[in-house]
Structure 1
Protein backbone atom coordinates (compact mmCIF):
# COMPACT_ATOMS: atom_id res chain seq x y z
CA UNK A 1 0.00 0.00 0.00
CA UNK A 2 1.27 3.46 -0.90
CA UNK A 3 1.07 5.84 2.03
CA UNK A 4 0.92 9.64 2.15
CA UNK A 5 0.57 12.03 5.07
CA UNK A 6 -2.02 14.76 5.11
CA UNK A 7 -4.19 17.05 7.18
CA UNK A 8 -7.98 16.82 7.44
CA UNK A 9 -9.65 19.91 5.93
CA UNK A 10 -13.22 18.62 5.68
CA UNK A 11 -15.37 15.97 7.31
CA UNK A 12 -18.42 14.21 5.86
CA UNK A 13 -20.22 10.97 6.78
CA UNK A 14 -17.95 8.03 5.96
CA UNK A 15 -15.21 10.16 4.40
CA UNK A 16 -12.88 13.08 4.97
CA UNK A 17 -11.20 15.61 2.72
CA UNK A 18 -7.45 15.56 3.22
CA UNK A 19 -4.92 18.15 2.09
CA UNK A 20 -1.57 16.71 1.05
CA UNK A 21 1.68 18.43 0.15
CA UNK A 22 2.97 17.54 -3.31
CA UNK A 23 6.73 17.56 -3.56
CA UNK A 24 9.12 16.82 -6.36
CA UNK A 25 11.99 14.35 -6.04
CA UNK A 26 14.61 17.11 -6.28
CA UNK A 27 15.93 16.43 -2.79
CA UNK A 28 17.24 13.03 -3.86
CA UNK A 29 18.82 14.20 -7.13
CA UNK A 30 22.61 14.46 -7.38
CA UNK A 31 22.39 17.74 -9.33
CA UNK A 32 20.20 19.40 -6.70
CA UNK A 33 22.75 22.07 -5.78
CA UNK A 34 23.15 23.42 -9.31
CA UNK A 35 19.63 22.93 -10.59
CA UNK A 36 17.11 25.75 -10.89
CA UNK A 37 14.24 23.46 -10.00
CA UNK A 38 16.08 22.39 -6.84
CA UNK A 39 16.52 26.04 -5.83
CA UNK A 40 12.81 26.69 -6.36
CA UNK A 41 12.00 23.57 -4.30
CA UNK A 42 14.11 24.85 -1.40
CA UNK A 43 12.35 28.23 -1.60
CA UNK A 44 8.96 26.54 -1.43
CA UNK A 45 7.88 27.42 -4.97
CA UNK A 46 7.92 23.79 -6.14
CA UNK A 47 5.50 22.52 -3.53
CA UNK A 48 1.78 22.66 -4.05
CA UNK A 49 -1.16 21.43 -2.05
CA UNK A 50 -3.81 19.05 -3.27
CA UNK A 51 -7.05 17.86 -1.73
CA UNK A 52 -8.35 14.33 -1.96
CA UNK A 53 -11.47 12.62 -0.63
CA UNK A 54 -10.63 9.53 1.40
CA UNK A 55 -12.89 6.92 2.95
CA UNK A 56 -12.71 6.87 6.72
CA UNK A 57 -14.34 4.99 9.58
CA UNK A 58 -12.47 6.92 12.29
CA UNK A 59 -13.84 9.91 14.19
CA UNK A 60 -11.64 12.77 12.94
CA UNK A 61 -11.79 16.52 13.31
CA UNK A 62 -10.58 19.36 11.14
CA UNK A 63 -6.82 19.79 11.40
CA UNK A 64 -6.05 16.18 12.41
CA UNK A 65 -2.99 14.62 10.77
CA UNK A 66 -3.65 11.32 9.03
CA UNK A 67 -1.96 8.75 6.84
CA UNK A 68 -3.74 7.93 3.57
CA UNK A 69 -3.35 4.63 1.78
CA UNK A 70 -3.82 3.61 -1.86
CA UNK A 71 -3.36 0.09 -3.22
CA UNK A 72 -0.38 -0.29 -5.57
CA UNK A 73 -2.34 -2.34 -8.10
CA UNK A 74 -4.99 0.39 -8.30
CA UNK A 75 -2.33 3.02 -8.97
CA UNK A 76 -0.68 0.86 -11.64
CA UNK A 77 -3.98 0.05 -13.39
CA UNK A 78 -5.01 3.70 -13.33
CA UNK A 79 -1.69 4.89 -14.72
CA UNK A 80 -1.82 2.33 -17.52
CA UNK A 81 -5.38 3.27 -18.37
CA UNK A 82 -4.91 7.04 -18.30
CA UNK A 83 -1.56 7.12 -20.12
CA UNK A 84 -1.28 3.98 -22.23
CA UNK A 85 -4.81 3.59 -23.58
CA UNK A 86 -4.98 7.02 -25.31
CA UNK A 87 -1.51 6.43 -26.75
CA UNK A 88 -2.62 3.05 -28.11
CA UNK A 89 -5.73 4.71 -29.57
CA UNK A 90 -3.55 7.26 -31.34
CA UNK A 91 -1.25 4.60 -32.78
CA UNK A 92 -4.16 2.31 -33.73
CA UNK A 93 -5.96 5.08 -35.60
CA UNK A 94 -2.83 6.05 -37.50
CA UNK A 95 -1.96 2.43 -38.27
CA UNK A 96 -5.47 1.73 -39.52
CA UNK A 97 -5.31 4.75 -41.83
CA UNK A 98 -1.92 3.61 -43.11
CA UNK A 99 -3.26 0.12 -43.84
CA UNK A 100 -5.93 1.68 -46.05
CA UNK A 101 -3.25 3.69 -47.86
CA UNK A 102 -4.58 7.11 -46.90
CA UNK A 103 -2.49 10.25 -47.27
CA UNK A 104 -0.42 11.70 -44.43
CA UNK A 105 -2.98 14.34 -43.55
CA UNK A 106 -5.67 11.65 -43.13
CA UNK A 107 -3.20 9.61 -41.13
CA UNK A 108 -2.91 12.48 -38.65
CA UNK A 109 -6.68 12.92 -38.50
CA UNK A 110 -7.20 9.18 -37.94
CA UNK A 111 -4.55 9.16 -35.19
CA UNK A 112 -6.23 12.07 -33.43
CA UNK A 113 -9.62 10.40 -33.81
CA UNK A 114 -8.22 7.22 -32.24
CA UNK A 115 -6.74 9.27 -29.41
CA UNK A 116 -10.05 11.06 -28.83
CA UNK A 117 -12.03 7.79 -28.88
CA UNK A 118 -9.67 6.19 -26.33
CA UNK A 119 -9.74 9.31 -24.17
CA UNK A 120 -13.55 9.25 -24.16
CA UNK A 121 -13.50 5.58 -23.12
CA UNK A 122 -11.13 6.38 -20.25
CA UNK A 123 -13.31 9.30 -19.18
CA UNK A 124 -16.45 7.15 -19.26
CA UNK A 125 -14.73 4.45 -17.21
CA UNK A 126 -13.50 7.00 -14.65
CA UNK A 127 -16.97 8.51 -14.24
CA UNK A 128 -18.55 5.08 -13.91
CA UNK A 129 -16.16 4.13 -11.07
CA UNK A 130 -16.12 7.53 -9.36
CA UNK A 131 -18.03 6.36 -6.28
CA UNK A 132 -16.58 2.84 -6.19
CA UNK A 133 -15.11 2.31 -2.69
CA UNK A 134 -12.49 -0.09 -4.10
CA UNK A 135 -10.99 2.72 -6.20
CA UNK A 136 -10.68 5.39 -3.52
CA UNK A 137 -7.95 6.15 -1.02
CA UNK A 138 -8.60 5.29 2.61
CA UNK A 139 -7.45 6.74 5.90
CA UNK A 140 -5.16 4.13 7.42
CA UNK A 141 -4.53 5.81 10.74
CA UNK A 142 -4.58 9.10 12.56
CA UNK A 143 -1.29 10.59 13.68
CA UNK A 144 -1.12 11.71 17.27
CA UNK A 145 0.53 15.07 17.66
CA UNK A 146 1.71 15.79 21.14
CA UNK A 147 1.57 19.33 22.39
CA UNK A 148 4.91 20.27 23.81
CA UNK A 149 4.64 21.91 27.18
CA UNK A 150 7.21 23.21 29.62
CA UNK A 151 9.83 20.62 30.42
Structure 2
Protein backbone atom coordinates (compact mmCIF):
# COMPACT_ATOMS: atom_id res chain seq x y z
CA UNK A 1 0.00 0.00 0.00
CA UNK A 2 1.34 3.40 -1.00
CA UNK A 3 0.29 6.13 1.41
CA UNK A 4 0.19 9.94 1.26
CA UNK A 5 -0.96 12.55 3.74
CA UNK A 6 -3.71 14.80 2.42
CA UNK A 7 -6.25 17.39 3.51
CA UNK A 8 -9.95 16.89 2.75
CA UNK A 9 -11.27 19.73 0.59
CA UNK A 10 -14.87 18.59 0.07
CA UNK A 11 -17.06 15.51 0.38
CA UNK A 12 -19.96 14.00 -1.55
CA UNK A 13 -21.80 10.66 -1.48
CA UNK A 14 -19.13 8.50 0.17
CA UNK A 15 -16.24 10.11 -1.71
CA UNK A 16 -14.01 13.08 -1.02
CA UNK A 17 -11.77 15.51 -2.85
CA UNK A 18 -8.41 15.65 -1.09
CA UNK A 19 -5.38 17.84 -1.63
CA UNK A 20 -2.05 16.04 -1.09
CA UNK A 21 0.25 17.68 1.43
CA UNK A 22 3.84 18.06 0.26
CA UNK A 23 5.77 16.55 3.14
CA UNK A 24 9.42 15.98 2.28
CA UNK A 25 12.40 14.84 4.29
CA UNK A 26 14.37 17.97 3.55
CA UNK A 27 13.33 21.56 3.00
CA UNK A 28 15.80 22.26 0.21
CA UNK A 29 13.13 22.72 -2.44
CA UNK A 30 10.99 25.03 -0.33
CA UNK A 31 13.93 27.08 0.97
CA UNK A 32 15.47 27.59 -2.49
CA UNK A 33 18.83 27.98 -0.72
CA UNK A 34 20.29 24.56 -1.40
CA UNK A 35 21.18 22.91 -4.66
CA UNK A 36 19.57 19.55 -3.88
CA UNK A 37 16.47 19.98 -6.04
CA UNK A 38 17.50 22.76 -8.39
CA UNK A 39 18.23 22.34 -12.05
CA UNK A 40 19.05 24.50 -15.04
CA UNK A 41 15.41 24.74 -16.12
CA UNK A 42 13.95 25.67 -12.73
CA UNK A 43 12.89 29.08 -14.07
CA UNK A 44 10.24 27.33 -16.19
CA UNK A 45 8.34 26.04 -13.17
CA UNK A 46 6.29 28.13 -10.82
CA UNK A 47 7.80 29.10 -7.50
CA UNK A 48 5.20 27.05 -5.63
CA UNK A 49 4.24 23.64 -6.92
CA UNK A 50 0.48 23.30 -7.07
CA UNK A 51 -1.20 20.03 -6.23
CA UNK A 52 -4.38 18.93 -7.92
CA UNK A 53 -7.24 17.57 -5.80
CA UNK A 54 -7.74 13.81 -5.95
CA UNK A 55 -11.13 12.06 -5.88
CA UNK A 56 -10.96 9.25 -3.31
CA UNK A 57 -13.28 6.85 -1.51
CA UNK A 58 -14.27 8.11 1.93
CA UNK A 59 -15.27 5.15 4.15
CA UNK A 60 -14.35 7.10 7.31
CA UNK A 61 -16.73 9.96 6.44
CA UNK A 62 -13.92 12.49 6.87
CA UNK A 63 -15.01 16.10 6.89
CA UNK A 64 -13.53 19.06 4.98
CA UNK A 65 -10.43 20.46 6.66
CA UNK A 66 -9.37 17.17 8.27
CA UNK A 67 -5.91 15.74 7.65
CA UNK A 68 -6.07 12.12 6.48
CA UNK A 69 -3.87 9.40 5.05
CA UNK A 70 -4.89 8.20 1.60
CA UNK A 71 -3.62 5.00 0.05
CA UNK A 72 -3.59 3.03 -3.15
CA UNK A 73 -2.44 -0.47 -4.01
CA UNK A 74 1.19 -0.78 -5.10
CA UNK A 75 0.27 -2.80 -8.18
CA UNK A 76 -1.97 0.07 -9.31
CA UNK A 77 1.03 2.39 -9.38
CA UNK A 78 3.04 -0.18 -11.34
CA UNK A 79 0.22 -0.68 -13.85
CA UNK A 80 -0.28 3.04 -14.44
CA UNK A 81 3.49 3.53 -14.73
CA UNK A 82 3.69 0.84 -17.39
CA UNK A 83 0.85 2.48 -19.27
CA UNK A 84 2.36 5.96 -19.00
CA UNK A 85 5.96 5.09 -19.87
CA UNK A 86 6.34 1.66 -21.47
CA UNK A 87 3.35 1.59 -23.82
CA UNK A 88 4.17 4.89 -25.61
CA UNK A 89 7.84 3.91 -25.88
CA UNK A 90 7.10 0.50 -27.37
CA UNK A 91 4.52 2.03 -29.69
CA UNK A 92 7.05 4.62 -30.86
CA UNK A 93 9.70 1.98 -31.57
CA UNK A 94 7.31 -0.32 -33.46
CA UNK A 95 5.93 2.55 -35.56
CA UNK A 96 9.45 3.85 -36.27
CA UNK A 97 10.66 0.45 -37.49
CA UNK A 98 7.57 -0.05 -39.65
CA UNK A 99 7.71 3.52 -40.99
CA UNK A 100 11.38 3.12 -41.95
CA UNK A 101 10.63 -0.15 -43.73
CA UNK A 102 7.65 1.30 -45.64
CA UNK A 103 9.63 4.35 -46.77
CA UNK A 104 12.51 2.13 -47.84
CA UNK A 105 10.18 -0.02 -49.97
CA UNK A 106 8.79 3.17 -51.55
CA UNK A 107 12.37 4.33 -52.34
CA UNK A 108 12.05 7.31 -50.02
CA UNK A 109 14.50 8.26 -47.27
CA UNK A 110 13.82 5.69 -44.58
CA UNK A 111 15.13 8.01 -41.81
CA UNK A 112 12.31 10.44 -42.53
CA UNK A 113 9.77 7.63 -42.48
CA UNK A 114 11.14 6.29 -39.21
CA UNK A 115 11.04 9.76 -37.64
CA UNK A 116 7.51 10.60 -38.79
CA UNK A 117 6.12 7.21 -37.90
CA UNK A 118 7.95 7.26 -34.53
CA UNK A 119 6.32 10.57 -33.58
CA UNK A 120 2.94 9.23 -34.69
CA UNK A 121 3.56 6.06 -32.67
CA UNK A 122 4.47 8.04 -29.57
CA UNK A 123 1.33 10.17 -29.80
CA UNK A 124 -0.89 7.17 -30.46
CA UNK A 125 0.78 5.31 -27.58
CA UNK A 126 -0.15 8.13 -25.22
CA UNK A 127 -3.72 8.14 -26.54
CA UNK A 128 -4.07 4.36 -26.12
CA UNK A 129 -2.51 4.52 -22.63
CA UNK A 130 -4.99 7.22 -21.61
CA UNK A 131 -7.91 5.20 -22.99
CA UNK A 132 -6.75 2.01 -21.21
CA UNK A 133 -6.18 3.86 -17.93
CA UNK A 134 -9.71 5.26 -18.02
CA UNK A 135 -11.18 1.82 -18.74
CA UNK A 136 -9.15 0.22 -15.94
CA UNK A 137 -10.16 2.96 -13.51
CA UNK A 138 -13.87 2.49 -14.21
CA UNK A 139 -13.74 -1.31 -14.34
CA UNK A 140 -11.84 -2.06 -11.14
CA UNK A 141 -12.96 -0.51 -7.84
CA UNK A 142 -9.83 -1.74 -6.00
CA UNK A 143 -7.65 0.56 -8.12
CA UNK A 144 -9.27 3.68 -6.65
CA UNK A 145 -7.45 5.55 -3.89
CA UNK A 146 -9.13 5.42 -0.47
CA UNK A 147 -8.92 7.31 2.81
CA UNK A 148 -7.23 4.87 5.19
CA UNK A 149 -7.18 6.78 8.48
CA UNK A 150 -6.94 10.17 10.08
CA UNK A 151 -3.39 11.37 10.64
CA UNK A 152 -1.95 10.59 14.04
CA UNK A 153 -0.11 13.30 15.87
CA UNK A 154 2.66 11.82 17.99
CA UNK A 155 3.99 13.71 20.99
CA UNK A 156 7.29 11.82 21.16
CA UNK A 157 9.35 10.33 18.33
CA UNK A 158 9.02 6.54 18.17
CA UNK A 159 12.74 5.94 18.83
CA UNK A 160 12.62 7.71 22.25
CA UNK A 161 9.81 5.58 23.67
CA UNK A 162 11.18 2.61 25.62
CA UNK A 163 9.55 -0.80 25.46
CA UNK A 164 8.21 -1.94 28.83
Please classify the TM superposition score into its range, dividing by the shorter chain length: 0.7 to 0.9
State the partner residue of 2:50: 48
Cα gap change, 1:21/1:95 in structure 2, threshold over 3 Å: closer, same or farther? same
Alignment of 1:51-62 (within 5 A): 51-62=53-64
TM-score normalized by structure 1?
A: 0.76
Query: What secondary structure does 2:93 align onto?
Result: helix
Counterpart in 1 of 2:118? 111
1:77 aligns with 2:84: no
Q: TM-score, normalised by structure 2?
A: 0.71
Distance 1:122 1:21, change over 3 A: same
Count of paired positions: 140
The equivalences for 1:66-145 within 5 A come to 66-100=68-102, 101=104, 103=109, 104-131=111-138, 132-143=140-151
**Structure 2: 5+ residue stretches without partners:** 155-164
Moved over 4 A (4+): 23-29
- Give, in angstroms, the shift of residue 26 of structure 1: 6.1
Alpha-carbon distance, 1:33 to partner: 6.0
Separation (CA, whole Å) in 1 of partners of 2:131 and 2:61: 34
Structure 1: gaps of 5 or more residues: 147-151
CA distance in 2 between counterparts of 1:92 and 1:46 reads: 39
Mapped partners of 2:14, 2:8: distance in 1: 13
